[in-house]
Amino acid sequence: MRKKLLLGNWKMNKTPSEAKAFALAAGEMVDLAVEHGIDVGVAPTFVCLEAVKSNINPKCIVAAQNVNEHEKGAYTGEISIAMLKEIGIDWVILGHSERREYNGETSVACNAKIKALLANDMTPVYCCGESEKTFDEGKTKDFVRHQIEEGFAGLSQEEAAKVVVAYEPIWAIGTGKSASKEIAEDTVGYIRLVLEGLFGGAIAEQIRILYGGSVKPENVSAYMSMPDIDGALVGGASLEPDSFLGLIKGML
């Protein structure tokens, strides 16, 4: 039985003091989620990680939005795994479509990061998803299969089971135009089939796959009613405590 997961992606929002205010306001809602068997977390910017980690309910996952796969050295502007670990961060979002678009992050680069995170007992949340053009052309499954094959390349079964996947159609991110629950389930179910082909049915059944793209308190329960969707990666609606609580309530 896969545990439900709600993860808020704060993108480039909130200063450290704003992030701290959210963390202090979120204590009881994290307990509510955990009491109902839901894993819950937020992904602030690097400069807000410590403010959130040290002020939020310790049961809340705090994730970074990226990491560099190299141990240390001449990588100006980058953040290493050891730096995250030292401040207690052990989850990282990888391959978000905004990083793919604006920072040239590829699935192959994500694969190296996934391997480095797993080697350090950390949890990667690997994002995939197609553009509107790819969706309109009916090529979503081919596109996403490729992203999954490249992202998971060379992983053992044991490693693959520890990766969280987030299916986020780009046309639904921040647009208010969410995918219907049927469209989301169709692709998420297909991703599970691809994972089954790569790692076998028992492993594919363990891997959590989230849907992301304009998820709100009003529509989250529809996605959660689908058999292959294990939770949500949420941008805009994760930024304010009231709305975050609404998301948790919609997942109960």
CB 3 within 8 A of CB 208: yes
Write down the least CB distance from residue 138 to ligand PEP, Å: 23
Query: What DSSP designation does 238 have?
Result: G
Tokens at residue 15, please?
């200063």
Instruction: Confirm or reject binding of residue 9 to ligand PEP (CB under 6 A).
Output: yes
Nearer to ligand PEP, 229 or 237 (CB): 237
Give the residue with the Cβ less far from ligand PEP, 80 or 178.
178
Residue 121 phi, psi (nearest 5): 55, 35
Instruction: Please state, in angstroms and rounded to a whole number, the distance separating the CA atoms of residues 230 and 5.
Output: 6
- Token pair recorded at residue 124: 């990667």
Q: What share of the chain is helix, strand, coil (3-state, %, to 5)?
A: 50, 15, 35
Is residue 7 a contact point for ligand PEP (CB under 6 A)?
no
**Whether residue 96 lies in the annotated active site:** yes
Residue in 215, 222, 224, 245 binding ligand PEP, rule: CB under 6 A: 215
Q: Is 168 a catalytic residue?
A: yes
234 lies in the binding site for ligand PEP (CB under 6 A): yes
Please give the residues from 72 up to 111 whose contact with ligand PEP meets the rule CB under 6 A. 96
Binding to ligand PEP by residue 210, rule CB under 6 A? no
42 touching ligand PEP, by CB under 6 A:
no
Nearest-10 crossing angle of helices 241-251, 16-25: 40
- When asked if residue 124 is in the footprint of ligand PEP (CB under 6 A), the reply is no
Smallest gap, in angstroms, from Cβ of residue 141 to ligand PEP? 20
Residue 167 bridge partners (DSSP): 128, 211
User: Read out DSSP for 37-79?
Assistant: TEEEEEE--GGGHHHHHTTS-TTSEEEES---SSSSSS-TT--
**Options 36-44, 57-65, 111-119, 211-219: segment touching ligand PEP (CB under 6 A):** 211-219
Using CA atoms, how far apart are residues 20 and 17, in angstroms rounded to an integer? 5
Q: Does 130 bind ligand PEP (CB under 6 A)?
A: no
- Residue of 98, 130, 168, 185 with catalytic role: 168
Q: How far is the CB of 71 from ligand PEP (least distance, A)?
A: 28
- Closest-CA residue to 93 (of 123, 116, 130): 123
Does 236 participate in binding ligand PEP (rule CB under 6 A)? yes
- E-state strands within the chain: 4-9, 38-43, 61-64, 91-94, 123-128, 164-167, 209-212, 231-234
Least Å distance, CB 202 to ligand PEP, is 29
Among 122, 210, 233, 245, binds ligand PEP (CB under 6 A): 233
Q: How far is the CB of 28 from ligand PEP (least distance, A)?
A: 23
Catalytic machinery residues: 96, 168
Q: Which residues bind ligand PEP (CB under 6 A)?
A: 9, 11, 96, 168, 173-174, 212-215, 233-237
